Amino acid sequence: MKLLVTGGAGYIGSVVGSQLVAAGHEVVVVDSLLTGHEEAVPDSARFVHAGIDEAADVVDSSFDAVLHFAARSLVGQSVAEPELYWWNNVVGTLRLLDAMRAADVRRLVFSSTAATYGRPEVSPITEDTPAVPINPYGQSKLAVDHALAGEAVAHGLAAVSLRYFNVGGALGRHGERHDPETHLIPNVLMVPAGRRAAVDVFGTDYPTPDGTAVRDYLHVEDLGRAHLLALDWTGTGAASGEHRVYNLGSGTGYSVREVVEAVRRVTGHPVPTTDRERRAGDPPVLVASADRIAADLGWRPEHGLEQIVEDAWTFMQR
Protein backbone atom coordinates (compact mmCIF):
# COMPACT_ATOMS: atom_id res chain seq x y z
CA MET A 1 0.00 0.00 0.00
CA LYS A 2 0.97 3.62 -0.33
CA LEU A 3 0.86 5.11 3.17
CA LEU A 4 1.15 8.58 4.61
CA VAL A 5 2.91 8.57 7.98
CA THR A 6 2.57 11.88 9.83
CA GLY A 7 5.20 12.40 12.54
CA GLY A 8 7.44 9.76 10.93
CA ALA A 9 10.59 11.65 11.98
CA GLY A 10 9.62 11.27 15.65
CA TYR A 11 10.17 8.38 18.04
CA ILE A 12 7.15 6.16 17.52
CA GLY A 13 6.39 7.25 13.94
CA SER A 14 9.92 6.39 12.82
CA VAL A 15 9.77 2.93 14.42
CA VAL A 16 6.37 2.08 12.97
CA GLY A 17 7.33 3.67 9.63
CA SER A 18 10.33 1.35 9.44
CA GLN A 19 8.11 -1.65 10.23
CA LEU A 20 5.72 -0.57 7.45
CA VAL A 21 8.63 -0.31 5.00
CA ALA A 22 9.85 -3.74 6.11
CA ALA A 23 6.36 -5.12 5.47
CA GLY A 24 6.65 -3.95 1.85
CA HIS A 25 4.61 -0.74 1.95
CA GLU A 26 5.51 2.51 0.23
CA VAL A 27 5.84 5.17 2.95
CA VAL A 28 5.69 8.94 2.64
CA VAL A 29 6.57 10.79 5.86
CA VAL A 30 5.14 14.24 6.59
CA ASP A 31 6.83 15.90 9.54
CA SER A 32 7.40 19.51 10.57
CA LEU A 33 10.51 18.50 12.60
CA LEU A 34 8.98 20.25 15.61
CA THR A 35 10.37 17.51 17.86
CA GLY A 36 11.56 14.99 15.25
CA HIS A 37 14.85 14.48 13.43
CA GLU A 38 15.18 14.20 9.66
CA GLU A 39 17.79 11.43 10.00
CA ALA A 40 15.20 9.33 11.89
CA VAL A 41 12.98 9.07 8.78
CA PRO A 42 12.93 5.38 7.82
CA ASP A 43 15.24 4.28 5.02
CA SER A 44 13.55 4.35 1.62
CA ALA A 45 10.63 6.46 2.87
CA ARG A 46 10.04 9.75 1.05
CA PHE A 47 10.28 12.75 3.39
CA VAL A 48 8.10 15.84 3.05
CA HIS A 49 9.06 18.64 5.44
CA ALA A 50 5.61 20.08 6.16
CA GLY A 51 3.01 20.47 8.86
CA ILE A 52 -0.17 18.39 8.93
CA ASP A 53 -2.06 21.66 8.42
CA GLU A 54 -0.52 21.60 4.92
CA ALA A 55 -1.72 18.04 4.28
CA ALA A 56 -3.84 19.17 1.33
CA ASP A 57 -0.60 19.75 -0.60
CA VAL A 58 0.53 16.18 -0.02
CA VAL A 59 -2.50 13.88 0.19
CA ASP A 60 -3.90 12.71 -3.11
CA SER A 61 -5.96 9.75 -4.23
CA SER A 62 -2.85 7.59 -4.76
CA PHE A 63 -2.68 7.03 -0.97
CA ASP A 64 -4.41 4.00 0.53
CA ALA A 65 -4.28 5.03 4.18
CA VAL A 66 -2.83 7.42 6.76
CA LEU A 67 -1.07 6.63 10.04
CA HIS A 68 -1.25 9.79 12.13
CA PHE A 69 1.45 10.14 14.83
CA ALA A 70 2.21 13.87 14.51
CA ALA A 71 1.35 15.74 17.71
CA ARG A 72 2.63 17.75 20.58
CA SER A 73 2.73 15.46 23.61
CA LEU A 74 4.21 17.19 26.66
CA VAL A 75 1.65 17.24 29.47
CA GLY A 76 3.29 20.10 31.40
CA GLN A 77 3.58 22.26 28.31
CA SER A 78 -0.08 21.57 27.51
CA VAL A 79 -1.09 22.98 30.90
CA ALA A 80 1.08 26.09 30.47
CA GLU A 81 0.24 26.73 26.81
CA PRO A 82 -3.01 24.89 26.00
CA GLU A 83 -3.56 26.80 22.76
CA LEU A 84 -0.55 25.03 21.23
CA TYR A 85 -2.32 21.73 21.78
CA TRP A 86 -5.70 22.78 20.36
CA TRP A 87 -4.10 24.28 17.25
CA ASN A 88 -1.58 21.54 16.58
CA ASN A 89 -3.35 18.37 17.70
CA VAL A 90 -6.97 19.28 17.00
CA VAL A 91 -7.04 21.91 14.24
CA GLY A 92 -4.06 20.25 12.51
CA THR A 93 -5.88 16.92 12.53
CA LEU A 94 -9.08 18.50 11.19
CA ARG A 95 -7.04 19.86 8.25
CA LEU A 96 -5.61 16.39 7.69
CA LEU A 97 -9.13 14.91 7.71
CA ASP A 98 -10.28 17.59 5.23
CA ALA A 99 -7.41 16.66 2.91
CA MET A 100 -8.18 12.94 3.24
CA ARG A 101 -11.86 13.50 2.51
CA ALA A 102 -11.06 15.62 -0.54
CA ALA A 103 -8.70 12.94 -1.87
CA ASP A 104 -11.05 10.10 -0.94
CA VAL A 105 -8.49 8.44 1.38
CA ARG A 106 -10.75 6.63 3.82
CA ARG A 107 -8.47 4.66 6.17
CA LEU A 108 -6.78 6.06 9.27
CA VAL A 109 -4.86 4.81 12.30
CA PHE A 110 -4.50 7.47 15.00
CA SER A 111 -2.18 7.78 18.03
CA SER A 112 -4.49 8.36 20.98
CA THR A 113 -3.32 8.04 24.56
CA ALA A 114 -4.01 6.76 28.05
CA ALA A 115 -4.05 10.44 29.02
CA THR A 116 -7.63 10.52 27.65
CA TYR A 117 -8.71 8.59 30.79
CA GLY A 118 -7.44 11.18 33.25
CA ARG A 119 -7.29 9.87 36.81
CA PRO A 120 -9.45 6.74 36.64
CA GLU A 121 -10.75 5.05 39.77
CA VAL A 122 -10.41 1.56 38.28
CA SER A 123 -7.49 -0.63 37.34
CA PRO A 124 -6.98 -2.07 34.81
CA ILE A 125 -8.49 0.56 32.50
CA THR A 126 -10.75 -0.72 29.73
CA GLU A 127 -12.06 1.19 26.73
CA ASP A 128 -15.37 1.50 28.60
CA THR A 129 -13.72 3.37 31.48
CA PRO A 130 -15.01 6.96 31.26
CA ALA A 131 -12.57 9.21 29.43
CA VAL A 132 -12.18 12.32 31.61
CA PRO A 133 -8.81 13.83 30.70
CA ILE A 134 -7.21 16.14 33.26
CA ASN A 135 -4.91 18.16 31.00
CA PRO A 136 -5.15 19.85 27.58
CA TYR A 137 -2.91 17.20 25.99
CA GLY A 138 -5.39 14.41 26.89
CA GLN A 139 -8.32 16.67 26.03
CA SER A 140 -6.90 17.39 22.57
CA LYS A 141 -6.47 13.67 21.87
CA LEU A 142 -9.98 12.87 23.12
CA ALA A 143 -11.37 15.64 20.91
CA VAL A 144 -9.77 13.94 17.90
CA ASP A 145 -11.19 10.57 18.96
CA HIS A 146 -14.64 12.16 18.90
CA ALA A 147 -13.96 13.86 15.56
CA LEU A 148 -13.03 10.51 14.05
CA ALA A 149 -16.21 8.87 15.32
CA GLY A 150 -18.28 11.53 13.56
CA GLU A 151 -16.18 11.44 10.40
CA ALA A 152 -16.61 7.66 10.20
CA VAL A 153 -20.40 7.80 10.43
CA ALA A 154 -20.85 10.82 8.15
CA HIS A 155 -18.22 10.13 5.50
CA GLY A 156 -17.43 6.42 5.60
CA LEU A 157 -13.99 6.72 7.22
CA ALA A 158 -12.56 3.50 8.68
CA ALA A 159 -10.58 4.63 11.70
CA VAL A 160 -8.81 3.20 14.73
CA SER A 161 -7.73 5.21 17.76
CA LEU A 162 -4.97 3.35 19.56
CA ARG A 163 -4.68 4.51 23.15
CA TYR A 164 -1.05 3.93 24.04
CA PHE A 165 0.03 3.53 27.63
CA ASN A 166 3.76 4.12 28.33
CA VAL A 167 5.85 3.33 25.28
CA GLY A 168 9.53 2.41 25.59
CA GLY A 169 12.36 0.53 23.92
CA ALA A 170 13.79 0.94 20.45
CA LEU A 171 14.05 -0.85 17.14
CA GLY A 172 17.50 -0.81 15.52
CA ARG A 173 18.49 2.77 14.74
CA HIS A 174 15.05 4.10 15.69
CA GLY A 175 14.52 5.12 19.29
CA GLU A 176 13.64 7.88 21.70
CA ARG A 177 15.60 11.13 21.40
CA HIS A 178 13.62 14.03 22.88
CA ASP A 179 15.01 17.34 24.07
CA PRO A 180 14.01 17.99 26.76
CA GLU A 181 13.42 14.36 27.73
CA THR A 182 10.56 13.90 30.17
CA HIS A 183 10.02 10.13 29.93
CA LEU A 184 11.16 7.95 32.79
CA ILE A 185 13.14 5.18 31.07
CA PRO A 186 15.47 7.38 28.97
CA ASN A 187 15.92 9.69 31.95
CA VAL A 188 16.98 6.82 34.22
CA LEU A 189 19.33 5.50 31.51
CA MET A 190 21.08 8.89 31.38
CA VAL A 191 22.65 8.02 34.75
CA PRO A 192 24.59 4.92 33.58
CA ALA A 193 25.26 6.81 30.32
CA GLY A 194 27.12 9.42 32.39
CA ARG A 195 24.80 12.23 31.32
CA ARG A 196 23.35 12.90 34.76
CA ALA A 197 24.38 12.10 38.30
CA ALA A 198 21.01 10.92 39.63
CA VAL A 199 17.43 10.49 38.50
CA ASP A 200 14.49 12.31 40.07
CA VAL A 201 11.66 10.23 41.51
CA PHE A 202 8.54 12.36 41.26
CA GLY A 203 6.26 11.43 44.17
CA THR A 204 7.02 8.90 46.91
CA ASP A 205 3.70 9.12 48.78
CA TYR A 206 1.32 7.60 46.24
CA PRO A 207 -1.11 4.89 47.43
CA THR A 208 1.01 2.19 45.76
CA PRO A 209 3.13 -0.62 47.30
CA ASP A 210 6.39 1.40 47.32
CA GLY A 211 4.82 4.88 47.21
CA THR A 212 5.93 5.68 43.64
CA ALA A 213 3.67 5.95 40.58
CA VAL A 214 2.77 2.83 38.65
CA ARG A 215 2.69 2.69 34.83
CA ASP A 216 2.14 0.09 32.13
CA TYR A 217 5.25 -0.05 29.89
CA LEU A 218 4.91 -1.36 26.36
CA HIS A 219 7.71 -2.13 23.89
CA VAL A 220 7.54 0.09 20.80
CA GLU A 221 8.02 -2.98 18.59
CA ASP A 222 4.85 -4.56 20.04
CA LEU A 223 3.08 -1.23 19.62
CA GLY A 224 4.08 -1.18 15.96
CA ARG A 225 2.65 -4.65 15.32
CA ALA A 226 -0.69 -3.40 16.63
CA HIS A 227 -0.61 -0.62 14.01
CA LEU A 228 -0.12 -3.11 11.20
CA LEU A 229 -3.09 -5.16 12.47
CA ALA A 230 -5.25 -2.04 12.88
CA LEU A 231 -4.30 -0.92 9.37
CA ASP A 232 -5.34 -4.31 7.99
CA TRP A 233 -8.67 -4.04 9.81
CA THR A 234 -9.41 -0.65 8.22
CA GLY A 235 -9.20 -2.39 4.84
CA THR A 236 -11.93 -4.90 5.62
CA GLY A 237 -15.31 -4.17 4.06
CA ALA A 238 -17.07 -3.96 7.41
CA ALA A 239 -14.72 -1.24 8.66
CA SER A 240 -16.02 1.53 6.41
CA GLY A 241 -18.02 3.96 8.55
CA GLU A 242 -16.67 2.51 11.77
CA HIS A 243 -14.36 4.04 14.38
CA ARG A 244 -12.81 1.74 16.96
CA VAL A 245 -10.86 2.52 20.12
CA TYR A 246 -8.28 0.08 21.47
CA ASN A 247 -6.02 0.29 24.49
CA LEU A 248 -2.40 -0.73 23.94
CA GLY A 249 -0.59 -1.82 27.06
CA SER A 250 0.90 -4.93 28.64
CA GLY A 251 -1.59 -5.25 31.49
CA THR A 252 1.25 -5.15 34.03
CA GLY A 253 2.17 -2.14 36.13
CA TYR A 254 5.64 -1.19 37.38
CA SER A 255 6.49 1.49 39.88
CA VAL A 256 9.12 4.15 39.25
CA ARG A 257 11.42 2.37 41.72
CA GLU A 258 10.93 -0.95 39.88
CA VAL A 259 11.93 0.73 36.61
CA VAL A 260 15.06 2.14 38.28
CA GLU A 261 15.85 -1.36 39.59
CA ALA A 262 15.43 -2.82 36.07
CA VAL A 263 17.91 -0.24 34.76
CA ARG A 264 20.40 -1.22 37.48
CA ARG A 265 20.05 -4.90 36.51
CA VAL A 266 20.33 -4.33 32.76
CA THR A 267 23.23 -1.85 32.81
CA GLY A 268 25.08 -3.16 35.87
CA HIS A 269 25.52 0.45 37.03
CA PRO A 270 24.48 2.04 40.29
CA VAL A 271 21.63 4.52 39.78
CA PRO A 272 21.31 7.10 42.55
CA THR A 273 17.82 8.59 42.94
CA THR A 274 16.59 11.89 44.36
CA ASP A 275 13.11 11.94 45.90
CA ARG A 276 11.03 14.85 44.62
CA GLU A 277 7.50 16.20 44.97
CA ARG A 278 4.79 14.67 42.78
CA ARG A 279 4.78 16.00 39.21
CA ALA A 280 1.63 18.06 38.61
CA GLY A 281 -1.08 16.14 36.79
CA ASP A 282 0.38 12.64 37.29
CA PRO A 283 -2.20 9.95 38.15
CA PRO A 284 -0.99 7.38 40.74
CA VAL A 285 -1.67 4.25 38.65
CA LEU A 286 -2.28 3.69 34.92
CA VAL A 287 -2.53 0.07 33.83
CA ALA A 288 -4.27 -1.07 30.65
CA SER A 289 -6.59 -3.86 29.87
CA ALA A 290 -5.79 -4.67 26.24
CA ASP A 291 -8.27 -7.55 26.11
CA ARG A 292 -10.37 -5.89 23.42
CA ILE A 293 -7.64 -5.70 20.77
CA ALA A 294 -6.50 -9.21 21.73
CA ALA A 295 -10.01 -10.53 21.10
CA ASP A 296 -10.74 -8.51 17.95
CA LEU A 297 -7.38 -8.39 16.17
CA GLY A 298 -5.34 -11.10 17.90
CA TRP A 299 -2.71 -8.65 19.22
CA ARG A 300 -0.59 -9.54 22.23
CA PRO A 301 2.60 -7.89 23.50
CA GLU A 302 5.68 -10.12 23.39
CA HIS A 303 8.31 -8.07 25.25
CA GLY A 304 8.54 -7.29 28.96
CA LEU A 305 10.10 -4.44 30.93
CA GLU A 306 13.59 -6.03 30.89
CA GLN A 307 13.64 -6.11 27.07
CA ILE A 308 12.29 -2.56 26.86
CA VAL A 309 15.10 -1.28 29.07
CA GLU A 310 17.72 -3.40 27.27
CA ASP A 311 16.74 -2.09 23.83
CA ALA A 312 16.47 1.52 25.04
CA TRP A 313 19.96 1.13 26.57
CA THR A 314 21.44 -0.30 23.35
CA PHE A 315 19.90 2.59 21.44
CA MET A 316 21.22 5.20 23.86
CA GLN A 317 24.73 3.78 23.56
CA ARG A 318 24.66 4.25 19.78
Ligand X SMILES: O=c1ccn([C@@H]2O[C@H](COP(=O)(O)OP(=O)(O)O[C@H]3O[C@H](CO)[C@@H](O)[C@H](O)[C@H]3O)[C@@H](O)[C@H]2O)c(=O)[nH]1
Residues 45-84, mask of contacts with ligand NAD (x by CB under 6 A): ------xx----------------xxxxx-----------
User: Which span sits near ligand X by CB under 6 A: 91-99, 200-208, 263-271, 291-299?
Assistant: 200-208
Return the C-alpha torsion angle 257, 263, 264, 269, nearest 10.
-130
User: Which span sits near ligand NAD by CB under 6 A: 116-124, 163-171, 200-208, 288-296?
Assistant: 163-171
Measured from the CB atom, the residue of 18 and 73 that comes closer to ligand NAD is 73
Q: Is residue 183 a contact point for ligand X (CB under 6 A)?
A: yes
**Beta carbons within 8 Å of 216's beta carbon, 6+ residues apart:** 114, 124, 165, 166, 249, 250, 251, 252, 253, 254, 286, 287, 288
Distance CA(157)–CA(102), nearest Å, equals 12
Strands of the chain, DSSP E: 2-6, 26-31, 46-49, 65-68, 107-113, 158-164, 166-168, 199-202, 214-215, 217-219, 243-248, 254-255, 273-276, 285-286
Contact residue for ligand NAD among 18, 32, 139, 187 (CB under 6 A): 32
Residue 164 bears catalytic tag: no
224 within 8 A of 16, measured Cβ to Cβ: yes
259 within 8 A of 305, measured Cβ to Cβ: yes
Window 235 to 294, contacts with ligand X (CB under 6 A) = 256, 279, 282, 286
Identified catalytic residue from 137, 206, 217, 246: 137
Residue 227 binding partner per list ligand NAD, ligand X, none, with a CB distance cut-off of 5 to 8 Å that depends on partner kind: none
Residues within the interface to ligand X (CB under 6 A)? 73, 113-115, 165-166, 182-184, 187, 199-202, 213, 215, 256, 279, 282, 286
Residues within the interface to ligand NAD (CB under 6 A)? 6-7, 9-13, 30-36, 51-52, 69-73, 88, 92, 111, 113, 164, 166-167, 178
